[in-house]
Chain A
């Protein structure tokens, strides 16, 4: 079955800790994206990668970091510098102009 997996579905962390969210795809897509979703705000782009070993900042990259060492994997680290990390995080991959989304990870930081 081809698709995008994100793990875990729910993640809880204490303030001041870094946390890494996993995103894996077996669709053979070159481009991958991370979005943050907050109630009433739609999705906002954090980082994206058009190809392995390359990535660019999106609109709200501060406090986040990514890597793209493998085509199928695009992990997102939420650092302690992110002021409001509690949110729903969505990963996507792209073929042509169409993006396909994973099921999301809900991160709660207390």
Chain B
């Protein structure tokens, strides 16, 4: 069975600074990998996905993520955060049956 670890429960970053959220996964085959964002009390919005090919993927809102098979990682980055990026971020891995397993999430606080 697949699993996802997001080591950081909470990250605080200054507006305009860079952001990196860590994600490590466990899965026997080539995984489908996703990052979702959730604002308080809302559903999840898909930021980006990796299925195959180029290991650096671009997403919405200026986010990107890099798949590193050797490290079983799929870290999310943004060069310059905006106050509107304050939210909870979830990494997920999908299996061959397209079922998703989620990490526990990382809450991002943006300070002025």
- Contacts from A to B (Cβ < 8 Å): 4, 6, 31, 33, 40-45, 48, 58, 90, 92, 94, 97-104, 106
Most buried by A among B49, B99, B101: B99
Instruction: Specify which of B9, B36, B98 is in contact with A31 (CB 8 Å cutoff).
Output: B98
Whether B105 and A42, one on each chain, are in contact in the complex, defined by CB atoms closer than 8 angstroms, is yes
What are 22 A-B pairs at a CB distance below 8 A?
A: A6-B43, A41-B104, A42-B104, A43-B44, A43-B90, A43-B102, A45-B99, A45-B100, A45-B101, A48-B99, A90-B44, A92-B44, A94-B98, A97-B32, A97-B51, A99-B98, A101-B36, A101-B44, A102-B43, A103-B42, A103-B43, A106-B41
Whether A97 and B49, one on each chain, are in contact in the complex, defined by CB atoms closer than 8 angstroms, is yes
Whether B46 and A98, one on each chain, are in contact in the complex, defined by CB atoms closer than 8 angstroms, is yes
Whether B94 and A97, one on each chain, are in contact in the complex, defined by CB atoms closer than 8 angstroms, is yes
Size category of the B interface is: 20 to 34
Contact with A along B84-97 (1 / 0, CB 8 A): 00000010101000
Whether B42 and A104, one on each chain, are in contact in the complex, defined by CB atoms closer than 8 angstroms, is yes
Most buried by A among B4, B51, B100: B100
Most buried by A among B34, B41, B45: B41
Whether A99 and B100, one on each chain, are in contact in the complex, defined by CB atoms closer than 8 angstroms, is yes
Kindly identify, within residues 27 to 62 of chain B, every residue whose CB is under 8 Å from any CB belonging to chain A.
Answer: 32, 34, 36, 41-46, 49, 51
Chain A residues within 8 Å of B105, by CB:
40, 42
Cβ distance B84 to chain A, nearest Cβ, rounded Å: 18
* A-B contact sample (9 more), CB < 8 A, given A40-B9, A44-B102, A99-B100: A42-B4, A42-B103, A43-B44, A45-B100, A97-B98, A98-B46, A98-B49, A99-B46, A101-B36
